[in-house]
Amino acid sequence: MRRAVVLMGVLSMAVGCTGSTVPPTSSPTPSSSARSRVPTPTPSTDALPALTLLADLGDEPAVWDRVTFIPFGNRPEQLGYKTFPTGPASQPSAFAVAPDGSFWIDDRWKRRVGHYSPSGVFLGTAGQLEHPGWDLAIVGDEVFVLVDQSSGTVGTVEGTKVKQAEVTYGKDPLFIVQLIPTARGLVAEATGIAGTRPGELETFVRLDVPSSIGGEVLSGLPLGRGDVSFDAARSEDPVHPHGDQDFDLTFTSPEVTQAQPIQFDLIVHDGHQERSIPAEVGLLEPLPMGDDVLMYVRVAPARPDDADTYGDGRWLLRVGRSPLLWERLPDPDTTDELHHRHVAVGPDGAIYLMVTKKNGMLILRRPGTGG
Amino acid sequence: MKRLFVLLWVVLPVVLALPSPPQALASWAGDNCNGTHYDDYYVKRSEAQSYASAAAEEGYEWGGGCWNNNNKDDTPDAPDSRGEGPDCSGFTFKAWELRNGFGKQGFEKWERLYEIHGPWTTYDFHSPVSDDPFYKLADKNVSTTIYMDAFAKDGHVAMIYVDGDSPFGLDLMIEALGDDPGTGKFYESYRSQSEYVGVRREDWTDDCWPSCQHPSPSVVVVP
């Protein structure tokens, strides 16, 4: 935690400027010959100094404010939960916070979305979903549900119903990994479409649900007012050759691209000795928050013996125009592989977290307005 | 001993659930699982991938291992009924063409409609022993794993469907995920979860076979 504070100021300076927020120039029309002669500016690239974040498994999770706890059970206001003899346990998979501060929870085992007041009072449900849901996003007042990844089935909550449509791109179903609310509307992190880099599996596609036609392929995840885009890639020149823990984050505006190398050191403790070990880092669930992007970061040892000995951890990363935020998050009480959306942004700019507990889902809020 | 116990844990419920012959006809597996199996050679990852892909959308059955290819779960909402689909370890067993017995090497083709789970549990995939035809990888780096390798924990096993750079921490896996999600391709963050280890089936034939471009024999110049 101490180290994170030190690093905050550094990254604040380093990535505090993500380029102008001037809206991009509109495309020239055929009749505007004067405009069409204006050369398209090529954004320059600023390479920023590399940053190192310490994922110290000896750190305690940050203390967040408890908002509410919603138990598992069969009653309508309770959430579905299922365990299996083999296979991951099945808990609610995602949540989102509406402009009025109420919560929507993707209650996958009951094939519905549940709605709760800011204090956790049950307000109702919408469903039934054709499949157990995967993700949730709220754009404006509309609540969207990723009902099925591979068929690109996206639902829109309409009263107590969820209107479902299978989104296509070209002639094929759009394989949607997750739904992301942005200033440019609902965006899907999707696969099966060539990304902006060779070998890239996923890219961002704007959706116009309930239209079932996939929209524009974006150059990255829109931030701010939508004129800055964010993307990430594994470093081509990693500092840690034995792990996947070095990345290049890019923030692109019409004028400038800023490349921010970021490295993660996994720190473990053997008695009084601490050391860095090779790690696998997952920059999960990217979520715009103003000019910043939030990510739910999982860090685990790369080597199996280390994994058995030390376990893993989860952190919250906020990077962009605001000061860097890097803090450890609480672990769930049980495995939560099928929990796909842990972090949400509230209407007041606060950051919310949903954690799987033994008997229900705990909603926490990070202290302080604006996170 | 633990392996025996776990084997009993998986197989016994299936055996106990086996109805008497007349009732067997009433189960989906009893009615549909008429496939066969045979020795196989020169098995490629790409073949395993294709085989596994055909199981997508075909349901999940704990202890099961039989499915058709009609892109729907023929026994929805009927868990533990000898319904359609594999469970996660049975799916890996069939996709990897493992032989039906501990310590047996080589490949055996199990047709989709041949009902078999195989003896290995998720615990075995997570903690291979020396005579298993698969082994634990030294690490889970993107540069180490190859498609159709698996990520396994004590409780689940899933195969990597494609190689590729996934900057946001997810891998496209193919797996028998559970009664409700069924079997299919799902993006998962198993790579960055400490419970999961990387596991590789031994003795795949290169995908390029039989047209692999072998390097020319080096020319030795004798002075």
**Tens-place pLDDT, residues B67-116:** 999 999 999 888 888 999 999 999 999 999 999 999 999 999 999 999 99
Contact A328, A58 (CB under 8 A): no
Amino acid at A202: E
Interface residue B76 vs chain A (CB under 8 A): no
In B, residues 4-63, which contact A (CB 8 Å cutoff)?
A: 9-10, 13, 56, 60, 62
What's the rounded Cα separation, in Å, for the pair B60 and B42? 29
Q: Which of B62, B122, B168 sits opposite A283 (nearest CB)?
A: B168
How many structural domains is chain B composed of? 1
What's the rounded Cα separation, in Å, for the pair A72 and A90? 11
What integer pLDDT is reported at residue A213 of this predicted model? 79
How many structural domains is chain A composed of? 1
- Report helix angle B88-95 to B45-53, nearest 10: 140
Please, where are the H alpha helices in chain A? 2-15, 33-36, 304-310
Residue B177 in domain:
yes
Residues on chain B touching A232 (C-beta within 8 angstroms): 167-168
Amino acid at B166: S
* Top-ranked range on mean pLDDT: pick from A23-32, A189-198, B10-19, B130-139: B130-139
Is there a contact between B136 and A304 if contact means CB atoms under 8 Å apart?
Answer: yes
Mean pLDDT for all residues in chain A: 85
What does the block give as tokens for B115? 């009902």
What integer pLDDT is reported at residue B216 of this predicted model? 55
* For chain B, percent of residues with pLDDT exceeding 90: 74
What's the rounded Cα separation, in Å, for the pair A12 and A105? 33
* Cβ atoms < 10 Å from Cβ of A362: 19
Residue A27 in domain:
no
Residue B75 in domain:
yes
Amino acid at A234: R
What's the rounded Cα separation, in Å, for the pair B21 and A294? 58
What integer pLDDT is reported at residue B221 of this predicted model? 54
What's the rounded Cα separation, in Å, for the pair A346 and A354? 13
What's the rounded Cα separation, in Å, for the pair A8 and A4? 6
What's the rounded Cα separation, in Å, for the pair B127 and B195? 11
Q: Which of B10, B165, B177 sits opposite A199 (nearest CB)?
A: B165
* Cβ atoms < 10 Å from Cβ of B26: 11
What integer pLDDT is reported at residue A191 of this predicted model? 83
Residue A201 in domain:
yes
Is there a contact between B169 and A311 if contact means CB atoms under 8 Å apart?
Answer: no
Q: What is the pLDDT along chain A (371 residues), one digit of tens a residue?
A: 434 333 333 333 333 222 222 222 233 333 333 333 344 455 678 889 999 999 999 999 999 999 999 999 999 999 999 877 777 878 999 999 999 999 999 999 899 999 999 999 999 999 999 888 999 999 999 999 999 998 999 999 999 999 999 999 888 899 999 999 999 999 999 887 655 554 455 689 999 887 777 788 888 999 999 999 999 988 988 999 999 999 999 999 998 999 999 999 999 999 889 999 999 999 999 999 999 999 999 999 999 999 999 999 999 999 999 999 999 999 999 889 889 999 999 988 899 999 999 999 999 999 976 54
Residue B211 in domain:
no
pTM above 0.90, yes or no: no
In A, residues 120-179, which contact B (CB 8 Å cutoff)?
A: 131-132, 149-150, 175, 177-178
A259 against B13, higher pLDDT: A259
Residue A33 in domain:
no
Q: What is the ipTM of this complex?
A: 0.85
B21 against A220, higher pLDDT: A220
Average pLDDT over residues B190-212: 95
What integer pLDDT is reported at residue A140 of this predicted model? 93
Q: Which chain B residue's Cα is nearest to A176?
A: B187
Residue A265 in domain:
yes
Please, where are the H alpha helices in B79-121? 88-95
Q: How confident is the model at residue B9 (pLDDT cuts 50, 70, 90)?
A: low
Contact B43, B107 (CB under 8 A): yes
What does the block give as tokens for B27? 């189960």
Residue B215 in domain:
no
Cα→Cα distances B200→A54, B71, B101, B138, B203, Å: 31, 28, 18, 10, 9
What does the block give as tokens for A255? 């004028």
Nearest to A158 by CA among A168, A144, A147, A148: A144
What integer pLDDT is reported at residue B3 of this predicted model? 57
Q: Which residues contact A141 (CB under 8 A, 6 or more apart)?
A: A98, A99
Is there a contact between B192 and A189 if contact means CB atoms under 8 Å apart?
Answer: no
- Give how far the C-alpha of residue A274 lies from the chain's centroid of Cα atoms, to the nearest Å: 30
Residue B80 in domain:
yes
What integer pLDDT is reported at residue A365 of this predicted model? 96
Burial of residue B75 (CB within 10 Å: 0-12, 13-18, 19+) is: buried
Q: Which chain A residue's Cα is nearest to B121?
A: A86
Q: Which of A150, A283, A285 sits opposite B167 (nearest CB)?
A: A283
> The domain spanning residue A182 has which CATH number?
2.120.10
Q: Which domain holds residue A78?
A: 2-15+43-365
For A247-278, give the secondary structure using H, E and C.
EEEEEECCCEEEEEEEEEEEEEEECCEEEEEC
Q: B139-176 in b/e burial notation, b at 16+ Cβ within 10 A?
A: bbbbeebebbbbbbbbbbbbbbbebbebbbbbbbbbbb
What does the block give as tokens for A167? 């989104």
Residue B222 in domain:
no
> Of B77, B136, B141, which to mutate for an interface test with A (greatest number of A Cβ within 10 Å)?
B141
The structure tokens 């795949």 sit at B204
Q: Which chain A residue's Cα is nearest to B138?
A: A303
What's the rounded Cα separation, in Å, for the pair B70 and B67? 9
What does the block give as tokens for A26? 């509109």
Is there a contact between B169 and A242 if contact means CB atoms under 8 Å apart?
Answer: no
DSSP helix/strand/coil, A311: coil
Say if residue B129's pLDDT is above 70: yes
Residue B123 in domain:
yes
Q: Which of B139, B167, B189 sits opposite A303 (nearest CB)?
A: B139
Alpha-carbon torsion (B74, B77, B81, B86), positive or negative: positive
Residues on chain A touching B139 (C-beta within 8 angstroms): 242-243, 278, 302-304
Contact B209, B44 (CB under 8 A): yes
What integer pLDDT is reported at residue A16 of this predicted model? 29
What integer pLDDT is reported at residue A201 of this predicted model? 53
Residue B149 in domain:
yes
Residue A346 in domain:
yes
What integer pLDDT is reported at residue A39 of this predicted model? 44
Say if residue B11's pLDDT is above 70: no
**Tens-place pLDDT, residues A32-64:** 333 333 444 556 788 899 999 999 999 999 999
In A, residues 196-255, which contact B (CB 8 Å cutoff)?
A: 197, 199-202, 231-234, 242-244, 247
Contact B194, B124 (CB under 8 A): no
What's the rounded Cα separation, in Å, for the pair A315 and A336? 15
Q: Which of B156, B186, B193 sits opposite A149 (nearest CB)?
A: B186
- CA angle, residues A162, A164, A165, in degrees to nearest 5: 160
Residue A279 in domain:
yes
Q: Which domain holds residue B117?
A: 2-26+35-201
